[in-house]
Amino acid sequence: MAAVYPELSGRVVAVTGAAQGIGACIARAFAQQGARVAALDIDQAGAAEVVREISATGGKAIAVALDVTDETSVQGAIARTLSELGGLDVLVTSAGGYGRLANVEDMPVEEWDRTVALNLRGTFLCCKAAIPHLKKSGAGRIITISSISGRTISSSTSPAYAASKAGVIQLTRFLAYTLGEHGITCNSVAPITTLTPRVKALRTPQNIAQISAQVPMKRLPDPDEHASVVVFLASDGASYLNGMVMDTNGGKVMM
Ligand SMILES: NC(=O)c1ccc[n+]([C@@H]2O[C@H](COP(=O)([O-])OP(=O)(O)OC[C@H]3O[C@@H](n4cnc5c(N)ncnc54)[C@H](O)[C@@H]3O)[C@@H](O)[C@H]2O)c1
């Protein structure tokens, strides 16, 4: 994306799950706007590679290891972002996902706990660690990545994932309600199945065609089509959007 939001130049943006997929696209998109990016991920090598790409094109980024489910690790990652980049203006929580399609009756409790921890506890811990610093920003933003699975119901997902993404949306609204007076806006982006390298490897072309056929636009999005919305939400143009869910689903679900 070309640099269209000059106000984002120099802002410090922490992106979780930035080693690949949608999170990596978001990290690159902010760097293209001149923001200083902390690429946070449990996959240190992947995050370092994204940072190398950003640096090679003249952007400023650092890779920071974190496990979003571990409070000490999250606090440490935010502390490192502050010490190396000098503050925090925007938090994007993209780390998330689930292992497999499942029903409630055949889901081991451990799998439920793991999935909810990654998506919901992880988002909570990152927001908790970031909020004191976002309050000092003057243009603080929290942008959570939820999912169409948290907006509507379908059998081709995981109950733990669907429930935790609905939880992420309600957590985002709670944050919007309570942090607005501190000049922080909180919004969520809720993607449909997206053509990331991981999804392209997992799904057959027939499967992708089937899902695409259910979308009014008859195609699935590239990850950049979510990243551009995330960057907009951080821009001054979105300064009065708060507690919104941006349904980047091509019109499949309209709410
Ligand atoms: N790709 C899709 O089709 C799709 C659709 C709707 C919503 N989403 C959501 O978008 C976000 C990104 O999805 P994606 O497909 O790009 O995911 P992905 O699996 O490609 O990438 C997820 C990243 O999170 C990191 N991660 C995993 N566990 C972590 C942990 N405990 N701590 C820190 N980092 C961890 C991984 O290393 C990876 O880099 C997720 O929240 C996902 O639920 C994705």
Window from 50-54, 133-137, 151-155 with minimum mean pLDDT: 151-155
DSSP 43-89: -HHHHHHHHHHHHHTT-EEEEEE--TT-HHHHHHHHHHHHHHHS---
> What is the 8-class DSSP label of residue 154?
-
Ordered domains of the chain (ranges, CATH) = 7-192+223-246 (3.40.50.720)
CA–CA separation, 255 and 252 (whole Å):
10
Ligand 1 site residues (CB inside 6 A) read 16-17, 19-23, 41-43, 46, 66-69, 94-97, 118, 145, 147, 191, 193-194, 196, 198-199
Among residues 5, 161, 177, 240, which one is catalytic?
A: 161
Give the tens place of pLDDT for each residue, 162-219.
999 999 999 999 999 999 999 999 999 999 999 998 888 888 899 899 999 999 999 9
Residue 127 CB partners (closer than 8 Å, separation 6+): 91, 93, 142, 144, 171, 175
Residue 57 CB partners (closer than 8 Å, separation 6+): 31, 32
Residue 240 annotated to the active site: no
Asked if 116 and 166 count as a contact pair (C-beta separation under 8 A), the reply is no
Taking 80 as the threshold, does the pLDDT of residue 3 lie above it? no
Q: Give the pLDDT of residue 1.
A: 66
Q: Among 16, 20, 143, 202, which is best to mutate for testing ligand 1, by the most ligand atoms less than 8 A from CB? A: 20
Prediction pTM value: 0.98
Give the tens place of pLDDT for each residue, 26-73.
999 999 999 999 999 999 999 999 999 999 999 999 999 999 999 999
